[in-house]
Amino acid sequence: MLLLVVSSNSGAQPQQDLTPVGLIKTPLGEIHIRLLTETPNHRASFIQLATQGYWDSLTFNRVIPDFVAQGGCPDTEQGFTDPEYLLEPEFVEGIVHSYGAVGAGRDDNPGKLSARCQFYIVHQKEGIPRLDNNYTVFGHVIKGMDVVDRIVHAERDEQDEPLAPITLTVSVEYLTVQELKALEDHRDR
């Protein structure tokens, strides 16, 4: 006997109609990041690490007002040498280090390979053009720059590390076009 079960969920959206949005939760509030399709490898890497909970035991380890809030794996004297955590750069014409841009950190390696375990959010209102085509921008904050303001103004030491750790939990939400528009419409003014 063959039993055929047909399930209909008219409210469900096909996967291709959903947009992945990074969500960073901190003790100071939440930050929503639109992940750019123009940088597919960095986007996929962010989604993979967020889904695995990679950043959930880490912090914003470098905070500088009018520059960046940087989180993820800390800078090391050895640099980022694990090939599993390095990505080829994805520089895209017109995608620049504007206020709220999210980029991949890296050391001074000649290939400008990104450390996929580290990201930063641009806090400079005029942007940081000197970073363009040197560091990959793979996202943009669509809500939560007020949280980034609080993060970069936290009391910090001489290495720009917050005195009180600013923990983060990173996940990915899949939003419909309407949900994304509603989130963007309520962004910080």
Q: To which residue do tokens 């990959």 refer? A: 136
Q: How far is CA 16 from the centre of its chain?
A: 21
Domain ranges of the chain: 19-185
pTM: 0.87
pLDDT digits (tens, 9 = 90+) for 103-143: 999 888 899 999 888 999 999 999 999 999 999 999 999 99
Q: Residue 59: pLDDT above 50?
A: yes
Note the pLDDT of residue 184.
83
Q: Which pLDDT score, from 0 to 100, does residue 186 have?
A: 67
Helix (H, G, I), strand (E, B) or coil at 64: strand
189 pLDDT above the threshold of 80: no
Kindly list the distances between the CA atom of residue 149 and the CA atoms of 44, 99, 100, 136, 167, in Å, as whole numbers in the listed order: 27, 11, 11, 22, 15
Phi and psi at residue 159, to the nearest 5° = -95, 10
pLDDT at 68 over 90: yes
- Specify whether the CB–CB gap between 18 and 174 falls below 8 A: yes
Q: What is the pLDDT of residues 137-162, one digit of tens each?
A: 999 999 999 999 999 999 999 999 99
Q: Are 21 and 140 a contacting pair, CB within 8 Å?
A: no
19-185: in CATH 2.40.100.10: yes
